[in-house]
Amino acid sequence: MTKDVEVGVAGSLTMIVLFSSVALLLRSFYKRYTNLQNRSDENRENEGNN
């Protein structure tokens, strides 16, 4: 029942594209999260001054 399947160049390129896109998405979400954290910290500081 088991068959040997050779992935080849197409499979390798597909995996490179998938891993790089996931890495870019994770980086984007991390940057967005840290910006939101910084904004909330600034808002807390400004509330104390008023």
In this prediction, residue 6 carries a pLDDT of: 79
Q: Answer whether residue 19 shows pLDDT above 60.
A: yes
How far out from the chain centre does Cα 10 lie? 24
* CA 17/CA 33 separation, integer angstroms: 24
Q: State the Cα–Cα distance between residues 19 and 35, nearest whole angstrom.
A: 24
Tens of pLDDT along 31-43?
999 999 988 888 8
CA angle 13, 5, 10 (to 5 degrees): 15
